[in-house]
């Protein structure tokens, strides 16, 4: 039981670190592409 709990805590820590990493170039590119696409739609719907 103790080993299982320790493994689980380690997995949670690794997942948290992974989420905390900065985006890669490819991820940034896709993120910005989506962002710009959504912003261009927003222009038509706002005032």
Query: What digits encode the pLDDT tens for the residues 2-40?
Result: 999 999 999 999 999 988 889 899 999 999 999 998 887
pLDDT at 25: 95
The number of distinct structural domains making up the chain is 1
pLDDT at 31: 93
Is 38 within a domain?
Answer: yes
Is 30 within a domain?
Answer: yes
Is 44 within a domain?
Answer: yes
Is 14 within a domain?
Answer: no
Is 16 within a domain?
Answer: no
pLDDT at 47: 59
pLDDT at 4: 95
Q: Which range of residues forms the domain containing residue 28?
A: 22-47
The residues near 3 (Cβ < 8 Å, ≥ 6 apart) are: none
Instruction: Supply the pTM of this predicted model.
Output: 0.47
Q: What is the dihedral of CA 4, 6, 7, 13, to 10 degrees?
A: 150
Is 43 within a domain?
Answer: yes
Is 17 within a domain?
Answer: no
pLDDT at 2: 92
């Amino acid at each position: 039981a103790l080993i299982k709990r320790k493994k689980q805590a380690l997995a949670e820590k690794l997942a948290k670190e992974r989420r905390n990493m900065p985006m890669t170039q490819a991820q940034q590119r896709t993120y910005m592409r989506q962002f710009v696409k959504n912003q261009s739609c927003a222009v038509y719907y706002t005032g």
